[in-house]
Chains A and B, each alone.
Chain A
Amino acid sequence: MSETAFTTHQTIGPFFHDGLRWAFVADAKDATITLTGRVLDGSGTPVSDAMLEAWRPGAALSDVGLLRVATDKDGRYSMRLPAARSGEPLAHICVFARGLLNHYFTAVFDEAGIDGDLWAQIPEARRATLLATPINGEHLQWDVKLQGDNETVFFDYR
């Protein structure tokens, strides 16, 4: 096999919405959990032009397979997800925004997921950044902090 280097990343920029909107779907099939939160930069300022994609292996979350949501002017997003399987994240998440030269893989967990393989590989001191907080009943909150104190853990897959 020939050795080829992979094509590198560039920012999604601020103008992706109309091109990617066809797949903006915030509601998964069989959703029971509402996940809301904000994307925040290093100064705590809401990121109003970010996009999140949520995905679960084997579970087509929508007709297009994943959920894709843009943040609003206050940096807020909202999505509806099925309950997590034991030991699995609620969803695998990919974060995109103007000012992010790369896209960033992460995952969001609730209590059901925290005894699994992926959770175990996260440095203990930073695990809390991937854990959604119950607000009431089936409503969970999870913020993505791009930089600084309590910076969200982002993955490099091996």
Chain B
Amino acid sequence: MKFTSPRPGQLPNNVHPPYKSTLARGPHQPRVEVLSRAAADQSLRLTRSIALRDADLTSQGQSAPLGQAITVSGRVVDEDGRPIRDSLIEVWQCNAAGRYAHVKDDHDAPLDADFPGFGKMLTDSDGRYHFKTIKPGAYPWGNHHNAWRPAHIHFSLFGNVYAQRLITQMYFPDDPLFPFDPIFNSIADKAARARLVSRFSLDETVSGVSLGYVFDIVLRGRSATPTGI
């Protein structure tokens, strides 16, 4: 497996001044390109010994959490379009009011005892995943005056080889906060930004129960070109 260079603007800059926390934290040096057997090693498989029954974030409390029930589903593939099978996905999000069940979240919005707001699941043999949750709210943050994050779900993926590790955020279609969010806009390439936005799907919508959103994910890595070609 080989890992090709990101296109210009495809990755966020390390330092993106409108996102103030990057000013002192973002590395200044470019990444050092290395060839490492570890990058393509498949032994990091967080799949075998753990219980994975957290794909329904609406059933973790005594009763259903408040908010709009949704499902999020999609397919995880590599850059050649091949499915990423049997691979761990972790998700976490705030509740419908925009509050994380986290000790450091001091946003003055109600907590929901029925919504811890995190889950984990494996992709299937075709790279597909599916979970049920509620639509997260937008929330304010201290970055600048009247700063609000567009509604999002945090995603963590491991892929099938070490270099495929990914931490990202999934957004919802047509969010009016997009033009104002420095985290979303830290990605210069418009198409790369657009790929973080899920799409609404009536096919995935369950009649009388939940709205369906689809979020497909592509992890780094292409098949290595055979020698001699």
Question: A residues bordering B, Cβ < 8 Å?
Answer: 1-20, 22-23, 41-43, 45, 47, 49, 53, 55, 57-60, 63-66, 92, 94, 96-105, 117-118, 121-123, 126, 146-148, 151-158
Residues of A within 8 Å of B167, CB to CB, are: 9-12, 96, 103
Q: Does B105 contact A (CB under 8 A)?
A: yes
Known A4-B218, A9-B167, A10-B168; judge A146-B154 contact (CB<8 A).
no
Cα–Cα, bound, A123→B29 (Å):
12
Tell whether, in the assembled complex, residue B12 and residue A10 are in contact, meaning their CB atoms are under 8 Å apart: yes
Cα–Cα, bound, A121→B13 (Å):
24
Kindly name the residue among B22, B38, B187 whose own CB sees the greatest number of chain A CB atoms within 10 A.
B38
Kindly name the residue among A12, A13, A64 whose own CB sees the greatest number of chain B CB atoms within 10 A.
A13
**B13–chain A nearest beta-carbon distance, Å:** 7
Known A7-B196, A155-B36, A158-B34; judge A20-B90 contact (CB<8 A).
yes
B71-98 residues at the A interface, CB under 8 angstroms: 77, 79-82, 90-92, 94
**B18–chain A nearest beta-carbon distance, Å:** 11
Residues of B within 8 Å of A97, CB to CB, are: 25
Known A15-B100, A55-B162, A101-B12; judge A63-B49 contact (CB<8 A).
yes
Tell whether, in the assembled complex, residue A43 and residue B24 are in contact, meaning their CB atoms are under 8 Å apart: yes
- In the complex formed, the residue of A with least CB distance to B29 is A151
- In the complex formed, the residue of A with least CB distance to B223 is A1
Tell whether, in the assembled complex, residue A19 and residue B25 are in contact, meaning their CB atoms are under 8 Å apart: no
Q: Does B186 contact A (CB under 8 A)?
A: yes
Tell whether, in the assembled complex, residue B24 and residue A101 are in contact, meaning their CB atoms are under 8 Å apart: no
Tell whether, in the assembled complex, residue B102 and residue A55 are in contact, meaning their CB atoms are under 8 Å apart: no
Known A9-B167, A10-B169, A156-B32; judge A57-B25 contact (CB<8 A).
no
Cα–Cα, bound, A1→B2 (Å):
15
Residues of A within 8 Å of B12, CB to CB, are: 8-10, 101-102
Q: Among B39-47, B125-133, B201-209, which stretch is in contact with chain A?
A: B39-47
- In the complex formed, the residue of A with least CB distance to B156 is A20
Cα–Cα, bound, A5→B81 (Å):
10
Known A101-B13, A157-B39; judge A7-B195 contact (CB<8 A).
yes
Tell whether, in the assembled complex, residue A155 and residue B34 are in contact, meaning their CB atoms are under 8 Å apart: yes
Residues of A within 8 Å of B200, CB to CB, are: none
Tell whether, in the assembled complex, residue A100 and residue B26 are in contact, meaning their CB atoms are under 8 Å apart: yes
Residues of B within 8 Å of A55, CB to CB, are: 38, 44, 162
Cα–Cα, bound, A146→B195 (Å):
28
Map CB proximity to A onto B31-73 as digits: 1 under 8 Å, 0 otherwise. 1111111110101111001100000000000000000000000
